[in-house]
Amino acid sequence: MDNQPVYDAVVIGGGPAGSTAAYLLAGFGHRVALLEKQTYPRDKVCGGCLSQKSVRFLERVFHLPVPSLREKGLLDSVGTGYALYIKNSRILAGDLAEPFYFTRRERYDAILARKAADAGADIYEGAEVIAVDHARRTVTTSEGDRYAARVLIGADGINSRVRRSLPGSVVDRQRWRKNLGWALELAIPRVEVGALANGDGAIRLDADLATPHLVLAACRWGYGWVFPNRETLVVGMGGLLEKNRDDRRDRFTEFLKTLGLSAFADRRPAGYLLPFGNFIPSPAYEGTLLVGDAGGFASPILGEGIFYAHRTAELAAHAVDRHLTSGAPPGEIYTALLARRLIPELRAEKALRDFLYGCLDGRLHAPLEAFMKATSTRVIDAVQGSRSFCGFRRNDGLHSAVW
Ligand SMILES: Cc1cc2nc3c(=O)[nH]c(=O)nc-3n(C[C@H](O)[C@H](O)[C@H](O)COP(=O)(O)OP(=O)(O)OC[C@H]3O[C@@H](n4cnc5c(N)ncnc54)[C@H](O)[C@@H]3O)c2cc1C
């Protein structure tokens, strides 16, 4: 397929980031191709938790308010309360002012890719990009097809081939590795939990298994979680890779035991890498921009990445639109938008992350507990996106229009 048309933009990867970029650019009237190596519906290892940041984004940008999300089967379950632990001791619990929702990624990603197609983007499934020529702005797939564009958008996730093809001046590889996260996750069917949970764990899960649980210090510089999906209980653990090099599987087994779920210790959890504070402040080179996990954009405290995938793709789409209409360099516009709209927030959250996990590592549990109790409402607001991590000010910056 060497004589493919030249596109305005070729987006590599069709997760939340890629679909958002393709959807917006096609909506602006540009010719867009989205290349996805798998075939929809495809799964992605993910807890599927949608904070209010994501919920607001879906309404503002995709015109999918909560009732529409429900109608399309995108909301698998809802968490109206929470429980927070340090190791085995429950330090906070209660109702949430606004809920967290849980989605299933195979459905979520397929529907958003469909939205991009409906907006006019050409979606190529089974198209795995294996080579990127930044100077010529072309990519080549494993089938030998070549796609040319005026701009390339790397939305190909944490193991991004597009990112790996960029020079060291763009990606500080040492910083990248230092803040790279890892996670293990196991989905246990609810019917089995009822029958097999022995209930003798140090953490007692609620009988109806409806409350999201976060367990700090379940591993080093990270946490464990229990997310209630409709059919399954999603048990996961994640943190900084470099602090948990050798004993991740043992720690996960220990976590299952703590939850009274040791009957499931012989099941193999899915493992995956994730950004954990390794965002690239200027993720652009020539006509190539990185968005979402490919650029390291996720919450440095929790690893929540769906919102950041959407938001960085939105900023990139606007930068590309401006480039295509005015000729201004896309990388400079994108970097400036990130610097104004996102990076200060991520830096502030990363500073809090270093304090939080540093205290846990130093076993300063009592002062940390006092801090968490004093700030919990504001931290939850910041996670939900109604406050900024910069001084916990009320802030709408994460949701404001791009220009
Ligand atoms: C265990 C775990 C739990 C998580 N839980 C949550 C959570 O509860 N809430 C939350 O907000 N975030 C969570 N995250 C993070 C979230 O999953 C990611 O941040 C999010 O998926 C990033 O979206 P993306 O579009 O950037 O990348 P991805 O979703 O990874 O999409 C990348 C796409 O690119 C495709 N691709 C890759 N390489 C190529 C190639 N060479 N050519 C063409 N296509 C390619 C892939 O097939 C994929 O479809 C979790 C992550 C992990 C690992």
Tell me the CA–centroid distance for residue 249 and ligand 1, in Å: 22
Ligand 1 near 33 CB (within 6 A): no
Give the angle 343-348-354 at the CA atoms, nearest 5°: 120
Q: Which atom of ligand 1 is nearest to the CA of 161?
A: 41
Tell me the CA–centroid distance for residue 207 and ligand 1, in Å: 32
Ligand 1 near 274 CB (within 6 A): yes
Ligand 1 near 161 CB (within 6 A): yes
- Per DSSP, the residues of 362-374 read TT-HHHHHHHHHH
Tell me the CA–centroid distance for residue 88 and ligand 1, in Å: 30
Q: Which residues pair with 34 in a beta bridge?
A: 11, 123
CA torsion sign, 12 to 1 to 39 to 141? negative
Residue nearest to atom 27 of ligand 1 (CA): 157
For residue 1, pLDDT over 60 is answered with no
pLDDT at 337: 97
Ligand 1 near 284 CB (within 6 A): no
Average pLDDT score, the chain: 95
Ligand 1 near 149 CB (within 6 A): no
Residue of 40, 125, 306 with the most ligand 1 atoms within 8 Å of its CB, for mutation: 306
Position 228: which residue type?
A: P
For residue 196, pLDDT over 90 is answered with no
pLDDT at 384: 96
Tell me the CA–centroid distance for residue 305 and ligand 1, in Å: 8
What percentage of the chain exceeds 90 in pLDDT? 91
Q: Which atom of ligand 1 is nearest to the CA of 227?
A: 8
Residue nearest to atom 33 of ligand 1 (CA): 13
For residue 20, pLDDT over 80 is answered with yes
Position 22 confidence tier, pLDDT thresholds 50, 70, 90: very high
For residue 400, pLDDT over 90 is answered with no
pLDDT at 5: 58
CA distances from 109 to 20, 115, 289, 305, 309 (A): 10, 10, 21, 14, 12
Ligand 1 near 309 CB (within 6 A): yes
For residue 3, pLDDT over 90 is answered with no
Residues 310-365: pLDDT tens digits? Answer: 999 999 999 999 999 999 999 999 999 999 999 999 999 999 999 999 999 999 99
Ligand 1 near 49 CB (within 6 A): yes
| Average confidence (pLDDT) over 306-313 | 98
Q: Which atom of ligand 1 is nearest to the CA of 156?
A: 34
Q: Which residues pair with 215 in a beta bridge?
A: 85, 224
Q: Give the H/E segment covering residue 184.
A: strand 180-189
Q: Are 37 and 129 in contact (CB under 8 A)?
A: yes
